[in-house]
Structure 1
Amino acid sequence: MSTLTEVASGYRTRGTLPPRVELVRQLGRRRTLVMGGLLAVLPFVLVIAFAVGHPSGRDGQVTLMDTATASGANFAAVNLFVSAGFLLVVPVALFCGDTVAAEADWSSLRYLLAAPVPRARLLWSKLVVALGMSLAAMVLLPAVALAVGTAAYGWGPLRIPTGGELDPGTAVQRLVVAVAYIFVSQLVTAGLAFWLSTKTDAPLGAVGGAVGLTIVGNVLDAVTALGHWRDFLPAHWQFAWADALQPHAEWSGMIQGAALSVTCALVLFALAFRGFARKDIVS
């Protein structure tokens, strides 16, 4: 016996909660403005720190930090180096982990679904916006750092600590590659935060859980006794982007890291969609 589902005239699934509407909603939130402000302020803080201090290599070795004041490109690379391990994890976990759980916490999730917005459509719009805002956060930091560094230290080649340099045009291209890789490498955190966001009504639990497990991954990667098992940890490849800032870029590490990150992220995103489709929404 077939069943018929009545649909209101003019109703279109694709017309419900379009990403642009979700984007406007998320951009207006205080946590978005605060996070954007923190990322934009960091380069100014580092300029002051380098003006007050005097970096010097250890045991005669020159590190990336020692070349921070060589040019705007070097300063942007240093900003990525000091923030990629943790600071850039926070906006990804925040934007992806807060998005669904916050609606449940505000008791507005069930009203969105009653609009009616299909569950898959709701998740898709929120995921696209969350990833877009995460990417914007990662672009904002080096973009501001490049501008601030150029104003403070001049426009010039990127000096490589191990020797040699990249001309300004090539340096900017390599920095773009580095930012793109950092974004891809953080898809694991995004997937974990998004999945947790569909499992809990507490935004802090989803965000904190994603950040906490990311930290655990970093700790495990530091355990050298694990040997080659560390190759299966996304954290093991988080700084592979530094291979792009060499006279002859090495891509093998970034390829392995990106493949592992994308694979884990797809599994987590699939779990989020599958679990949310069957979840009993009471908030």
Structure 2
Amino acid sequence: MTALAERTEVAHGYRAGRTLPLRVELVRQLKRRRTLVMGAVLAVLPFVLVVAFAIGGEPDGPDDRVTLMDTATASGANFAATCLFVSAGFLLVIPVALFCGDTVASEASWSSLRYLLAAPVPRARMLWSKLAVALGLSLAAMVLLPLVALAVGAVAYGWGPLQIPTGGALDAGTAAQRLVIVIAYIFVSQLVTAGLAFWLSTKTDAPLGAVGGAVGLTIVGNVLDAVTALGDWRHFLPAHWQFAWADVIQPTPEWGGMIQGASVSLTYALVLFALAFRGFRRKDVVS
């Protein structure tokens, strides 16, 4: 009777919402080597670009087009914006795919997923905890790059207004506000990659397959966007709007492209996250 009473007390004290706290999951993910390596890569990139500009001279935009690359060395703010410009299309895709694609599949590859669920951690609770931490780390990666770039650029090129390639300038305070908006938009635009990686992570026991699949599908989207024969169909591709944030780096910002891009990205992301939760709820977990 005593043992039965003790088991009953444990059952009454059980709270599904207290299982796998975000703090515990965050600490686990921060200690992983891939998190540290990815953070180091993003922190080193601005130093690499400074050295490249010092060796190669003044940067030029591709194909004689006027881009942020032309004003990269004008100030620290310009250098930070340039780092976002050169990395948003691919480099920032990798941490998002890594953090979101590795999160569930890694547990399965370690054969610890079934033991985690037997803790017992409800499946939905586990997914929410892992997704929240993965998205938090993805956002941290996107914030880390421009912060380091701003500091490095200020030392290398001085602190000053953000020079707009097409003419004009934004004072330091306004430039900082616009860069915050840019980072927020890039994060929203990368939610499609996050959704792909997370959904694949619930479908496979191979973390590399989930991460690689998300990166590969993102590249396919970029390739399709380059096919001008698709016409207006490209507007339904998240990749079509990935650089819409450039309209904010203007004296008078334009919001139309960012609103359309955010709408497309959020729609795809919500569908993919819903598929991940629905499929994992019915999945026979044996790993």
Task: Report the TM range for the smaller structure's normalisation.
Answer: over 0.9
For structure 2, the 5+ residue unaligned runs are 1-7
Q: Percent identity?
A: 84
Deviation per CA, 1:210-257: give whole Å up to 9, x if none: 000000000000000000000000000000011110110000000000
Q: Specify which of 7, 10, 15 is matched with residue 12 of structure 1.
A: 15
Alignment-mate amino acid for residue 37 of structure 1: A
Task: Give, in whole Å, the separation in 2 of the partners of 1:39 and 1:241.
Answer: 20
Superposition deviation, residue 10 in structure 1? 1.4
Identify if the C-alpha distance between structure 1 residues 206 and 11 changes in structure 2 by more than 3 Å, giving closer, same or farther. same
Which residue of structure 2 lines up, in the alignment, with residue 106 of structure 1?
A: 110
Q: Specify which of 15, 31, 46 is matched with residue 28 of structure 1.
A: 31
Task: Give, in whole Å, the separation in 2 of the partners of 1:228 and 1:279.
Answer: 38
Which residue of structure 2 lines up, in the alignment, with residue 187 of structure 1?
A: 191
Identify if the C-alpha distance between structure 1 residues 73 and 281 changes in structure 2 by more than 3 Å, giving closer, same or farther. same
Which residue of structure 2 lines up, in the alignment, with residue 275 of structure 1?
A: 279
Which residue of structure 2 lines up, in the alignment, with residue 53 of structure 1?
A: 56
Identify if the C-alpha distance between structure 1 residues 106 and 264 changes in structure 2 by more than 3 Å, giving closer, same or farther. same
Deviation per CA, 1:77-129: give whole Å up to 9, x if none: 00000000000000000000000000000000000000000000000000000
Identify if the C-alpha distance between structure 1 residues 272 and 57 changes in structure 2 by more than 3 Å, giving closer, same or farther. closer
Task: Give, in whole Å, the separation in 2 of the partners of 1:139 and 1:250.
Answer: 23
Task: Give, in whole Å, the separation in 2 of the partners of 1:245 and 1:83.
Answer: 16
For structure 1, the 5+ residue unaligned runs are none
Superposition deviation, residue 60 in structure 1? 7.0
Task: Give, in whole Å, the separation in 1 of the partners of 2:13 and 2:128.
Answer: 22
Task: Give, in whole Å, the separation in 2 of the partners of 1:62 and 1:282.
Answer: 55
Q: How does 1:50-199 map to 2 (within 5 A)?
A: 50-54=53-57, 55-56=59-60, 62-199=66-203
| Aligned structure 1 segments of 4 or more residues deviating by more than 2 angstroms | 55-63
Alignment-mate amino acid for residue 70 of structure 1: A
Alignment-mate amino acid for residue 160 of structure 1: I
Deviation per CA, 1:135-192: give whole Å up to 9, x if none: 0000000000001000111110000111111011101110010000000000000001
Superposition deviation, residue 56 in structure 1? 4.0
SS at structure 2 position matched to 1:8: helix
Q: How does 1:255-270 map to 2 (within 5 A)?
A: 255-270=259-274
Deviation per CA, 1:12-32: give whole Å up to 9, x if none: 111100111000000000000
SS at structure 1 position matched to 2:11: coil
Task: Give, in whole Å, the separation in 2 of the partners of 1:12 and 1:151.
Answer: 51
CA RMSD of aligned residues (A): 1.4
TM-score using structure 2 length: 0.95
Identify if the C-alpha distance between structure 1 residues 6 and 198 changes in structure 2 by more than 3 Å, giving closer, same or farther. farther
Task: Give, in whole Å, the separation in 2 of the partners of 1:187 and 1:274.
Answer: 18
Which residue of structure 1 lines up, in the alignment, with residue 236 of structure 2?
A: 232
How many equivalent pairs are there?
279
TM-score using structure 1 length: 0.96
Task: Give, in whole Å, the separation in 1 of the partners of 2:84 and 2:56.
Answer: 20
Alignment-mate amino acid for residue 46 of structure 1: L
Task: Give, in whole Å, the separation in 1 of the partners of 2:131 and 2:246.
Answer: 28
Superposition deviation, residue 8 in structure 1? 1.7
Task: Give, in whole Å, the separation in 2 of the partners of 1:59 and 1:118.
Answer: 54
Identify if the C-alpha distance between structure 1 residues 89 and 56 changes in structure 2 by more than 3 Å, giving closer, same or farther. closer
Alignment-mate amino acid for residue 28 of structure 1: K
Superposition deviation, residue 58 in structure 1? 7.1
Alignment-mate amino acid for residue 79 of structure 2: F
Identify if the C-alpha distance between structure 1 residues 153 and 18 changes in structure 2 by more than 3 Å, giving closer, same or farther. same
Matched, 1:211 2:227: no
Alignment-mate amino acid for residue 198 of structure 2: F
Superposition deviation, residue 62 in structure 1? 4.2
Superposition deviation, residue 57 in structure 1? 5.7
Identify if the C-alpha distance between structure 1 residues 260 and 36 changes in structure 2 by more than 3 Å, giving closer, same or farther. same
Alignment-mate amino acid for residue 112 of structure 1: L
